Amino acid sequence: MGESFLKDAIDRIVEMAAPKTYQIGPYTYASQELVLVDTAPSRPKDFCVDTLSGLVRIIKEEGARLDVKLLVQVEDQRHVAVWSDYLGDRVERARKYDRWRLYTAEADVPRITVGQYMDQQQAIIELQSLHNATPDRDYLLDLLSKIDVTQGVKSTDNGVTQEATVKTGVVLKDTVPVKPIVELQPFRTFLEVDQPVSKFLLRVDEHGRAGLFEADGGAWKLEAKRSIAAWLSTALAAEIEAGKVVVMI
């Protein structure tokens, strides 16, 4: 008798805990949220590299043999992603319109200081190590080497041009114009492609600190993406011709 009563109580609790649906007006509601539980991985884990050369190699060695078309998307100047096309009837119906993110490439390049002032030491180090040699880079290095920090920097700035007092000898000083716009070529994208040249607004404050501010509206990012896409299109020309790969921005 006691065991029968206990069994009936447990069955009743289980019944009450089971998911139910309720029709309220034109809408159907569920008493619980259902979560899909996969017994096995439904998609491959994406593989990440840090060079375009590495990305091309894995596409040629593995990706081109898969039963999918590969969509190589240049997401920005530092990231490239490789997606599958729609899977369609190659997988179960519940996932037939999925895409797989198979491979990614992330550029391992340093970030330059933009939009804030740097002391002479930091500015010189960054110009020497994070920028390609250009006439304007050499001009900046020469200007920074002449700035007299101990006596302060006398600056005249009308918003268009700027003049700074710099030392030309042990005690002699001279007032020289500071170029308002400089063209520099910092390392900001994958090293396999040419680094984009972009314009920077140059300012020197009263403490001798130099500041670089972007003056091209971010156009260099689009140029970098186009260069990456062009490089990939050349490296994957055979796969593109065979209809296995599409490169896009």
For the segment 99-119, the average pLDDT, to the nearest whole number, is: 91
Asked if residue 10 has pLDDT above 90, the reply is no
Question: Residue 142 half-sphere exposure, CB side, CA atoms within 13 Å?
Answer: 11
What gap in Å lies between CA 84 and CA 22, rounded to an integer?
Answer: 40
Q: What is the pLDDT of residue 43?
A: 64
Phi, psi torsion values for 247, nearest 5 degrees: -105, 130
Asked if residue 106 has pLDDT above 60, the reply is yes
Radius of gyration of the chain (CA): 31
Q: What is the pLDDT of residue 208?
A: 76
Q: What is the pLDDT of residue 194?
A: 94
Residue 88 pLDDT level (bands cut at 50, 70, 90): low
Using left for φ > 0, alpha for ψ between -120 and 50, and beta otherwise, residue 80 falls in beta
For the segment 165-171, the average pLDDT, to the nearest whole number, is: 44
pLDDT over 90, % of the chain: 45
pLDDT over 70, % of the chain: 74
pLDDT, tens digit (0-9, with 9 covering 90-100), for 121-138: 899 999 999 999 999 999
